[in-house]
Amino acid sequence: MLRVPVLSKSGKPLMPTKPSRARRWVKEGKAKIAPNDLECFAIQLTFETGENTQPIAVGIDPGKHYSGIGVQSSLATLWMAHLVLPFKTVKERMELRRVMRRARRGRRINRKLPYNKRCHRQKRFDNRKQGKLPASIRANKQLELRVVKELFKLFPVSAIHYELVIADVDRTSGRKSAQSGVGFSPVMVGQRQMLKWLSELAPVTTHQGWQRNGNGTSQLRQWLRLGKDKKNKANQTPATHAVDGVTLAAFEFVQWREWHSKGTKHGNWQGFVEITPAPFTVIRRPPVSRRQLHLCVPSKGSKRRKYGGTVTRHNFRKGDKVIAEKAGKTYTGWCSGDTKTQVSVSNANWKRLGQFTAKKVQLLQRSTGLIVVPSTGLSNLPFGFAQGAI
């Protein structure tokens, strides 16, 4: 049950509509196609209308290398995404930057002099007590926040449900482990900052992946009869991470209710939510290297070759979506580099498709800082529906 995002004449998100109605409005001139950074088909009305909306929730399942996001209403699943996070890339480049910085400082020192006469720069301030997030963690959170902000431009989101990671909890007793730090995960870092950013957009409710009282993401997913792929989390399918995003968003419409009787305690899920096939998108950040004025190994003649940055010599920027032709074949990808006469084009996983003559490369879309790959058709999870009286 596909739903098309609708924007009012002033650009305010309204309730999604059916594709047939959206096509009819565009054909009759009552609406126009609304471009967006998520490359989701959306329309904007050209006439004034009411702005009444219904509750729509966004669920976020954060991870270290991958995250899942789902948009859900009580009657339909509206959108799902699998985010490929830049954790590993940023971590490796920060380590390389550290090595290069230490090498530059090492070349500046004259080791023939006594130690107390060498040119060792003293620290100018204590930079270890500022409470900053690690660069890799901050990059992960900023990508998730960027996607959520784009969703707020398309859907009238009224609530956000976020999975809180608490790794040192004993599942048998539900209490914290006696040994602090057992099972620590980098996903736990920066959660407070992320919740602060999200709370500026909409009310945020946190959930745990597993809870003893049955009010966890895993329990609700099983009650909704949704399958999850736990063998290979790198698979870019809805069953790996996006399914948890949809489950978290379903918390807005389904709640766990407990009741007590003599000596026993019972509980059950109550509410109504319908999980339907929805568009699925894979999103990642283009891994463009930052400009390096000092490479690891200096070249001869004190001339350093150009490396990094987003500017090319052919009026393209790295991350631009382009279409290129070579040997009678057409390739669609993203600009990832250049030479004197050629442009490098890579696929969504940033694997180079080839180098093409600049004259045979055409621009499709300027870089938005995101690589978005929508799926063809709707996702095919083992969907079902659950309902009950609240």
Q: What is the pLDDT of residues 244-254, one digit of tens each?
A: 999 999 999 99
138: Cβ contacts below 8 Å, ≥ 6 apart: 190
pLDDT at 1: 73
Q: What is the pLDDT of residue 170?
A: 54
Q: How far apart are CA 85 and CA 65, in angstroms?
A: 5
Residues 6+ apart with CB under 8 A from 329: none
Amino acid at 169: V
The pLDDT, as a whole number, for residue 104 is 79
Task: Please report the pLDDT score of residue 329 as a whole number.
Answer: 95
DSSP-based three-state secondary structure for 249: helix
d(CA 297, CA 170): 50
The pLDDT tens digits for 110-153 are 888 888 888 777 667 776 666 788 999 999 999 999 999 999 99
State the architecture of 300-369 in CATH terms.
Roll (2.30)
pLDDT at 109: 84
Residue 283 tokens, joined? 């999103």
Assign domain 54-87+133-284+378-387 to a CATH class: alpha beta
Q: Which two tokens stand for residue 9?
A: 């004449």
Pairwise CA distance, residues 138 & 160, whole Å = 20
> What is the model's pLDDT at position 292?
77
- The confidence score (pLDDT) of residue 159 equals 96
The predicted pLDDT at position 105 comes to 80
**Model pLDDT, residue 265:** 62
User: Which residue has tokens 């790959």?
Assistant: 373
Which stretches does DSSP call E strand in the chain? 4-7, 13-17, 31-33, 43-45, 57-61, 66-72, 77-84, 159-164, 204-208, 254-261, 264-274, 280-284, 321-326, 329-338, 342-346, 352-357, 361-365, 371-374, 385-387
First-last CA distance in the chain: 25
Q: Which residues of the chain have pLDDT under 70?
A: 122-123, 127-130, 168-183, 212-214, 260-265, 294-298, 302, 379-390
Res 386: pLDDT: 43
Q: Could you tell me whether strands 204-208 and 159-164 are parallel, antiparallel, or unpaired per DSSP bridges? A: parallel
pLDDT reported for residue 262: 60
Parse the chain into domains and list their residue ranges.
Answer: 54-87+133-284+378-387, 300-369
